[in-house]
Structure 1
């Protein structure tokens, strides 16, 4: 009986305890929801701040793309229209190439400016000669002034190129860096498209006047932005660096303080191991390896025709007339610029999902196949297929843009160590633009010697060679911090396939 009574007795729970439990649960739920909202708000502010920096660089990049594409609409107008400054092939090759003759000097000066004055100020300074160059072109009365305007504009492009990529690379977070550093390359393509479009219905002088708009806006916008935190730390401006990082990280002061301290620790470690900067730093393992990788990639990129198709778009496309039908080469040139712009955006998006290596090799294979097909098709002089070569030119441009156009700029922002990022970036662009000047200057004569089919065969072979090189040597840097990448290049070995490094040390880097 007692046992039965005991078993039948229900446990008692005080009403006050239930009430406290419900209240605590409600408070916890409310607190969690509030914290989640705060995190989401912080994330939105963080992305917005880094996007604003990128947008400013995009203005600068688009303004640099316009003089690159300008020769494609300028040369036909000066050659074939009744213009007082009519030109021949010799002068035309100088007009197309001289822009790249001054760019190496601008790139070298950019490296010094970035280290001495900061990334942001270097970009602002770059806008001034570009505005001056366009003014010279617009009001030129002879070929000498026109060439001088192109030269000054080229110097400006050299100043801005590396500075923009370094600025974004040092202000963005690892998971956003690939996308954000590639977007300026899309705006660069937009600048080419814009100048093609303007040149299709405006005289070349009016196009030059209109082209001053973007660099003027860019110059003003940079006044509203903070300097690179990396540069500020390396010049002893810790409070400014912390404030800049607080804004860039959505107001999260703890994260800003943590990142600032990390930059300080890296700087102290470098100071202890390296001491003062010397030219020998360029030959250190962590510098020379990315220098080799980037410059070989840039050389293969040039030989694959990435920029030649921009400089000589209308001229090259004039060879695509097969049979009796005639293609409107200006329209096809604008179409190639539009495809370049669209696929540069597509490439930027892909960088958020796939690795640099995959994108680079896919781009190279597509470029190689389409270029080799075009060379063979034009060599055979097939009749009755007028629009087939034009279609494959668009496929070639799309494939080439997807990785070969946008990746060198992305890699420049990622591969070099902080202590020499500005100088090595400027040096890389100097070498690149020196080669660009040489290839664009000799292109008309090479085309005359080997024919347009030989030109596309050369593009195809260079692209295939680049694929092989990138497969063996290019490391995967997606979602890796700049410190991790720097540490990777400090290890022995050069090949990515076997890494030249211990697997247990770098499995996390490979993944």
Structure 2
């Protein structure tokens, strides 16, 4: 009896994700993140495969050069730009749900091209389309989740996006090392098809429906996501408050929304923080390490099995993101960003130093150290720089320019993804891995200083605040 009472008390807690109020919000978030899981699986699957394509054991009938591998790795960034723009332009016009339907199409095509590959151009186009899916996900999913989630669980639900991506990356590492090149795609392609079917069961967000004047549909959507009866008096009042605020915001935006909204002091503060946020995310090499993980370990003089190291790193990514879901609403975003940026900078310095001395000396006795350092780096990146990225990005901007601001900066993020993925293997080849890591460390430390002095806490901020 005591256990049942305690369990009931846990579920009655408004902060419990499995509580009655939050249950549908969590379920829909998990269903939608099948798309991000599938995208991450594609990213993780390609990392060991790209290294295999350059060897004599290549599963393909044609050679793949180092210069071509850098394009295969980086074209996902260009695809992300297209995905960002398409999602940003359409989600306010045709709705978030219709854009979510669209996401499944390019990703399904990516796996078809991988399976039926005849030349390296098939891989180029496939990676470009995979980037379109990822780019669209990173625009529409944070918006969708922020609009269906209560303020007290918004951070945890938003951080599931990157948790799902990294779970997919780990699955991709495992699949590509344990199964043959042509064995995986026929089974993996089931995921985007399942995701497409799930979308038929999910209502449009109440925010979008209210803005389109579909108040009855908005009320049904609101009742579904809050898991409450539509005839509940308290729920009726809550919905009316939301409707009033959204209509007021829309009216004010229609009357006064002009270029001056983009040149206010709060707007410039948001631009600066968002720019540093993107720099810290990409130029810390967090995504580069994930994409070229097999090559990074091969250059690290480790004595451990590369496939095992890759899988361990994939696990640490998930652990880091899971920690984010536990801490970001409880302790705030700022402390996680500070811990993550400083810790990542120290780890990159240590990794660069180890590889510098290992190049000229025999450090085989501590050949396990690169794995330990990279494990700490990946974990620390994922508790802040990666895990909190989209949560903080959405919350930084004033309400009047949030949609445009977030869309613009996600496009910039995709451009950064392309640049870093394109130049990272070149930097490793020209400068060596030590100098490359030291440069990333210096950049990350500068972003830590910015966060320390200028980044404001956004935890608990209402999305309807100016």
Pairwise same-fold verdict (TM > 0.5): yes
SS of 1:204 mapped into structure 2: coil
Could you say what secondary structure the match of 1:438 adopts? Answer: helix
The superposition leaves residues 373-396 of structure 1 with CA deviations (integer Å, 9 ceiling, x where unpaired) of 111121122522111122111111
Q: Post-superposition shift, 1:180?
A: 0.8
1:393 lines up with 2:374 in the alignment: yes
1:57 to 32, 38, 42: 32
Change in 2 beyond 3 A, CA 1:280/1:130: farther
Structure 1 residue 262: Cα displacement: 3.2
Shift in Å, 1:259: 3.7
SS at match of 1:353: helix
Contact 2:334 2:457 in 1 (8 A): yes
For residues 421 and 122 of structure 1, the distance between their equivalents in structure 2, rounded to whole angstroms, comes to 19
Of residues 272, 284, 289 in structure 2, which corresponds to 1:304?
284
Q: 1:415 aligns with which of 367, 381, 396?
A: 396
CA-CA distance at 1:205 after TM superposition: 3.1
Q: Identify the match of residue 78 of structure 1 among 41, 46, 53.
A: 53
SS in 2 for 1:480: coil
Partner of 1:470: 451
Residue 122 of structure 1 contacts residue 160 of structure 1 at CA under 8 Å; is this kept in 2?
Answer: no
1:271 aligns with 2:255: no
- The 1:356/1:89 distance shift into structure 2, 3 A limit, reads same
Question: Counterparts of 1:114 and 1:208 in 2: how far apart (Å)?
Answer: 30
Closer/same/farther in 2, CA of residues 307 and 190 from structure 1, 3 Å limit: same
CA RMSD, Structure 1 to Structure 2 (Å): 2.3
Aligned partners of 2:267 and 2:100: how far apart in 1? 24
Contact 1:241/1:260 (CA < 8 Å) preserved in 2? no
- Alignment-derived partner of residue 341 in structure 1: 318
Aligned in 2, Cα 1:177/1:41: closer, same or farther, shift over 3 Å? closer
Q: Is the 8 A contact 2:45 2:175 kept in 1?
A: no
- Contact 1:227–1:244 (8 Å) recurs in 2: yes
- The aligned counterpart of 1:292 is 272
Give distance in 2, aligned partners of 1:226 and 1:246.
Answer: 11
In structure 2, the CA distance between the partners of 1:259 and 1:469, relative to structure 1 (3 Å rule), is farther
Could you tell me the TM-score, scaled by structure 1's length? Answer: 0.82
1:163–1:422 CA contact under 8 A, matched in 2: no
Indicate yes or no: 2:126 matched with 1:146. no
Match of 1:169 among 127, 146, 153: 146
C-alpha separation in 2, matches of 1:331 and 1:273? 54
What are the ranges of 5 or more consecutive residues in structure 2 without an aligned counterpart? none
Distance 1:280 1:112, change over 3 A: farther
Match of 1:262 among 242, 254, 267: 242
1:427 paired to 2:404: no
Q: Give the whole-Å Cα distance in 2 for the aligned partners of 1:262 and 1:244.
A: 12
Q: Which residue of 2 aligns with 1:103?
A: 80
**In structure 2, which of residues 276, 290, 299 is the aligned counterpart of residue 319 of structure 1?**
299
d(CA) in 1 for partners of 2:73 and 2:182?
Answer: 16
Per mean C-alpha deviation after superposition, the further-off stretch among 457-466 and 98-107 is 457-466
Q: CA, structure 1 residues 220+413, in 2 after alignment: closer, same or farther (shift >3 Å)?
A: farther
TM-score (norm 2): 0.90
1:337 match: secondary structure: helix
The structure 2 residue matched to 1:180, chosen from 145, 151, 157, is 157
Residues 342-380 of structure 1: CA deviation (Å, up to 9, x unaligned): 221112111132110001101111111111111112112
| Cα distance in 1, alignment partners of residues 140 and 240 from structure 2 | 21
Distance change (3 Å), C-alpha of 1:257 and 1:126: farther
- Distance apart, 1:417 and its partner CA: 4.6
Q: Deviations over 1:453-477 (max 9, x none)?
A: 1122122212211111112232212
Are the counterparts in 2 of residues 233 and 260 from structure 1 also a CA contact under 8 Å? no
Q: Could you tell me how far 1:296 is from its partner in structure 2?
A: 2.0
Match of 2:197 in 1: 220
The aligned residue for residue 333 of structure 2 is 356
**CA drift at 1:234:** 1.2
Judge conservation of contact 1:412–1:425 (CA < 8 Å) in 2.
yes
Equivalent-residue separation in structure 1 for 2:272 and 2:240 (angstroms): 31
Give the Cα–Cα distance (whole angstroms) in 1 for the partners of residues 21 and 322 of structure 2. 22
Shift in Å at residue 121 of structure 1? 1.8
User: CA–CA distance in 1 between the matches of 2:266 and 2:216?
Assistant: 29
User: Could you tell me which residue of structure 1 aligns to residue 108 of structure 2?
Assistant: 131
Count of residues in correspondence between the two structures? 447
Indicate how the Cα distance of structure 1 residues 161 and 388 shifts in structure 2: closer, same or farther if over 3 A, else same.
Answer: same
